[in-house]
Amino acid sequence: MEDARVKNASDVDTNILSLREGVASYLHDADPEETQEWMDSLDGLLEESDPERARYLMLRLIERANAKRVPLPALSSTDFVNTIPTKLEPEFPGDEKIEKRYRRWIRWNAAIMVHRAQRPGISVGGHISTYASAAALYEVGFNHFFHGKDAEQGGDQIFFQGHASPGMYARAFMEGRLSEEDMDGFRQEKSHPGGGMPSYPHPHGMPEFWEFPTVSMGLGPMNAIYQARFNKYLQDRGIKDTDKQHVWAFLGDGEMDEPESRGLIHMASLYGLDNLTFVINCNLQRLDGPVRGNGQIIQELESFFVGAGWNVIKVVWGREWDELLEKDEDGALVHIMNTTPDGDFQTFKANDGAYVREHFFGRDERTKKLVEDMSDEDLFNLRRGGHDYRKVYAAYKRALETKGKPTVILAHTVKGYGLGHSFEGRNSTHQMKKLTLDDLKLFRDNQQIPISDEELEKDPYMPPYYHPGADAEEIKYLQKRREELGGYLPQRREQYTPLSQPDFEKTFKALFKDSGKQKVASTMALVRTFKALMRDKELGKRVVPIIPDEARTFGLDSWFPTLKIYNPNGQNYVPVDHDLQLSYREAPEGQILHEGINEDGSSASFVAASTSYATHGEPMIPMYIFYSMFGFQRTGDNFWAAGDQMGRGFIVGATAGRTTLFGEGLQHMDGHSPILASTNPAVIPYDPAFAYEMPYIISKGIERMYGNGAGEDENVMYYITVYNQPHHQPARPENLDVEGLHKGIYLYDKGEDLDNKVSLLASGVGMQQALVAQKILQEKYNVGAAIYSVTSWTELAREGQRKDNEQLLNPDAEVEEAFATKQLKQTEGPYIATSDFASDLQEQIRAYVPGQYVVLGADGFGFADTREAARRFFNIDAESMAVAALLALAKEGKIDRSVAAQAAKDLKLDDPAAAQPNLDSDDEGPENAAE
């Protein structure tokens, strides 16, 4: 069938084709005659003049329509020129000459710091070219925009591009915050006398300086978006005013290829984040070569961000181009700008003015003529927009004035700018760490640094830093600017009021009781613990539940109507379940951050909430609950960044275990998240077995994180694995070994005093298997089995390793034995360990077990089957534990090996089909409804 849309508009009676998708496809034509007249004029114009003229008139019409508020879909790309026309540029309020002078000193010191770090015997290097290209972008911010911590509401939050760190150190040196000695400690964090400085923005390494770790590319952009969203959340919930705080993220154009960089930008417009500005340093290069040799990264990013609903400001050309563009009456210059690929622009900068004349302006007779009166040097000195203070200032100002949407500034720069010919625009520039003597001299001349040839020649490994002294006019000016803007940046502070908790026994009474006939999964125990805590008014409001679309799976939908889901726009529709008690509720003051199916965004949300004690001085308690398979495995890098940023809060891996989530299969059944979590030194993994353990773990966690106040609290993130298998929950034992519970192991049951003895160690749902194994061993085989609840294998291992290290450093000393060893000596070996995770988890404590140690683990990929079959297959079930215990006893000569052999046969250890439910769990129901 013929499609009417391919026809000429004039062929279609009353409908016309709309400009593009986004408005209704067909519009009613109220006056076809008038329409035809407009069409005829366009046709006539095209007959008389070139398409350039038609394009011009069309664009002017669109511009006029916008001005008259005619709703038209946005154009997703504009010419390769500055968004802000020169005549609309605001007055630059600073003293350009002074600012330029010290910007050059900063650029010098940044490069010299890296160069000196290459000195013989150290040779740790660093990045020179990234900051050189971005110096003006930062300096305009420092001098005129970035609010420091003393500003109203605590100032702005700035995500510095990781590899630009030398520039921030060099500025701090100018400000007198860092000494030459400090600068020479760059990249020698442990060995430099008096302390060194990290290569990149690591708050962990410099907790009073850096705030946001950004160097794992892609994390900065997404964490900045969620930081801005979190600021709005704090404001909307009445916890803290943040409406004068702005989030700036400085990013590389190469970095924008990371899916994390682009993948969440729609969230920023969805939440109307006008408190967020991205500044993308488009130097057209990444590490190896051009970002888009054949294309134009600035144009590509413009369309991408416009499409996502952002305000886009391009800063492409410096003021030197203004006059040329003014004279470009027929659009020839704009045309060659539009059609020159980035690869060529890079090559221009690596060559000279004559090359630019021939290969750029020479592409069109008209443009060639345009520059015939200019010298080659003038041509080479036509700067790119990102190096021009005035253009950058205009863009920043416009960004802050934009309401209702986030802004991205696309700044065109040269990589290695000002560093001279060996650096500017070269493919190798990113990795060049030092300058030759000739480079140094040229760089010194370019930047007009008052250092003599002799001084440079004295020791080419150690060219001097430059500082004119605190009394210099420039330094006074610089200091005044920061003073007026609220103090130095970057800077991290940690000031907050400690949190107190409600009465422990009273609050958690229900969780300490025997559950009787009711079967309770540990997920439910965790939810109940948080619910009980949240009844406390002061503490309750600080809990930030973060959920990527699995609330119903975890039984958290009961929180929807009470806590509500945060949405700054409220709920402008009638929810389908509005007449139900558990209705889906969105509200501007909502407490739940429901992130959609978006683990990356959720992890970023966690980072913002977990560091609020420092960024805002407001301790918040994030409780980020996810499908455990999609947590550390999917977003481990951001948890690593959270550790660097010293985040504090709770990460909950729900539907945990390789066999518990029956029927789901290989991509769902998590048998290793606690192992992944254990590789993050800031994470304390717990795998609780019983409901009564939960309040102890969570309450202690909050106390460790926020109990004391600044300087005293620990930078820890708890990772708690919880299951969806309901089972009987025993009452809290009398004389519970609370210290053991916190440190990772306690004796739950001594077992019967029979002829032979073993000890069973279990965590999580593995405990249910250990309890049955105990019965089998005692009733059928006359073996008394003690049971230990291992709340954290990793914490035990870490404690043991700390003791080992102490011993290594003090070979003469009598170092205490590991906590695990002491605990396990309460009963006799052999020791048999299990959990619902891979062996590597249980293996972590092998060195500290005082006897024969047998590990059963769920190794290999998971699969879809019943829990019983899966546990038998992996040999982590009660029967397998029992046989493992018998075999271990046989190895010690305590029983005959044939007993174990017969048991293996009787209990059908190798037959998943023979596995029968050995738990008291008839566990159908919503808690198993994971999808």
Give the residues lining the site for ligand TPP (CB under 6 A).
130, 163, 215-218, 252-255, 281, 283, 285-287, 291, 415, 430
Of Mg ion, ligand TPP, none, which one sits near residue 255, judging by CB under 5 to 8 A according to partner kind?
A: ligand TPP
Taking residue 351's Cβ as centre, other Cβ atoms within 10 Å add up to: 16
Taking residue 30's Cβ as centre, other Cβ atoms within 10 Å add up to: 8
**Strand 247-252 and strand 543-547: pairing?**
unpaired
Query: Residue 641 or residue 770: which is nearer to ligand TPP going by CB?
Result: 641
CA distance 651 to 639: 10
Of ligand TPP, Mg ion, none, which one sits near residue 215, judging by CB under 5 to 8 A according to partner kind?
A: ligand TPP
CB 657 within 8 A of CB 555: no
Query: Residue 232 or residue 262: which is nearer to ligand TPP going by CB?
Result: 262
- Please state the separation of Cα 862 from the chain's center in Å: 29
CB 835 within 8 A of CB 762: yes
In whole angstroms, the minimum distance from the beta carbon of 850 to ligand TPP comes to 44
Give the CB-nearest residue to ligand TPP: 252
Of Mg ion, ligand TPP, none, which one sits near residue 367, judging by CB under 5 to 8 A according to partner kind?
A: none
* DSSP-based three-state secondary structure for 212: coil
Total of residues contacting Mg ion (CB under 5 A): 5
Which residue has tokens 């089995």?
785
DSSP 213: -
In whole angstroms, the minimum distance from the beta carbon of 291 to ligand TPP comes to 6
Residue 687 labeled ligand binder: no
For 865, phi then psi, to 5°, come to -170, -175
Query: Residue 137 or residue 225: which is nearer to ligand TPP going by CB?
Result: 137
Of ligand TPP, Mg ion, none, which one sits near residue 430, judging by CB under 5 to 8 A according to partner kind?
A: ligand TPP
For 428, phi then psi, to 5°, come to -85, -5
In whole angstroms, the minimum distance from the beta carbon of 748 to ligand TPP comes to 44
Query: Residue 220 or residue 649: which is nearer to ligand TPP going by CB?
Result: 220
CA distance 294 to 784: 75
> DSSP string of 246-266?
-EEEEEETTGGGSHHHHTTHH
In whole angstroms, the minimum distance from the beta carbon of 113 to ligand TPP comes to 17
> Smallest Cα–Cα separation from 588: which of 573, 571, 603, 604?
571
Give the footprint of Mg ion on residues 224-253 (CB under 5 A): 252-253
Taking residue 165's Cβ as centre, other Cβ atoms within 10 Å add up to: 28
Query: Residue 285 or residue 835: which is nearer to Mg ion going by CB?
Result: 285
Query: Residue 234 or residue 251: which is nearer to ligand TPP going by CB?
Result: 251
In whole angstroms, the minimum distance from the beta carbon of 420 to ligand TPP comes to 18
DSSP 136: H
Give the footprint of Mg ion on residues 898-917 (CB under 5 A): none
How far, CA to CA in Å, does 788 sit from each of 256, 691, 759, 837? 50, 15, 7, 17
For residue 550, give every residue at least 6 positions away whose Cβ sits within 8 Å of its Cβ, in sequence order, or none: 625, 626, 627, 654, 655, 930
Tokens of 355: 């090359």
CB 127 within 8 A of CB 430: yes
Of ligand TPP, Mg ion, none, which one sits near residue 287, judging by CB under 5 to 8 A according to partner kind?
A: ligand TPP
388 binds Mg ion (CB under 5 A): no
DSSP H/E element including 834: strand 831-834
Give the footprint of Mg ion on residues 248-267 (CB under 5 A): 252-254
DSSP 530: H
In whole angstroms, the minimum distance from the beta carbon of 645 to ligand TPP comes to 16
Lay out the site mask for Mg ion across 278-307 (x = CB under 5 A, - = otherwise): -----x-x----------------------
Give the ranges where 731-856 is alpha helix by DSSP (H).
738-743, 766-781, 793-809, 819-824, 839-843
Query: Residue 163 or residue 398: which is nearer to ligand TPP going by CB?
Result: 163
In whole angstroms, the minimum distance from the beta carbon of 168 to ligand TPP comes to 14
* DSSP-based three-state secondary structure for 649: strand
In whole angstroms, the minimum distance from the beta carbon of 302 to ligand TPP comes to 17
Query: Residue 166 or residue 254: which is nearer to Mg ion going by CB?
Result: 254
> Smallest Cα–Cα separation from 742: which of 679, 816, 823?
823
* Packing angle of the helix pair 129-144, 389-401 (nearest 10 deg): 60
Lay out the site mask for Mg ion across 159-198 (x = CB under 5 A, - = otherwise): ----------------------------------------
- Please state the separation of Cα 424 from the chain's center in Å: 31
Residue 283 labeled ligand binder: yes
In whole angstroms, the minimum distance from the beta carbon of 356 to ligand TPP comes to 21
Of Mg ion, ligand TPP, none, which one sits near residue 163, judging by CB under 5 to 8 A according to partner kind?
A: ligand TPP
Query: Residue 117 or residue 796: which is nearer to ligand TPP going by CB?
Result: 117
In whole angstroms, the minimum distance from the beta carbon of 94 to ligand TPP comes to 25
Query: Residue 280 or residue 767: which is nearer to Mg ion going by CB?
Result: 280
Binding segment toward Mg ion, per CB under 5 A, in 223-231, 276-284, 507-515, 703-711: 276-284
Query: Residue 283 or residue 756: which is nearer to Mg ion going by CB?
Result: 283
> DSSP string of 848-874?
G-SS-EEE----S---SS-HHHHHHHH
CA distance 312 to 310: 6
In whole angstroms, the minimum distance from the beta carbon of 258 to ligand TPP comes to 6
Residue 756 labeled ligand binder: no
Q: Side chain identity at 741, as an amino acid letter?
A: L
Of Mg ion, ligand TPP, none, which one sits near residue 823, judging by CB under 5 to 8 A according to partner kind?
A: none
Per the annotation, binding residues are 253, 283, 285
Binding site for Mg ion (CB under 5 A): 252-254, 283, 285
Per the annotation, binding residues for Mg(2+) are 253, 283, 285
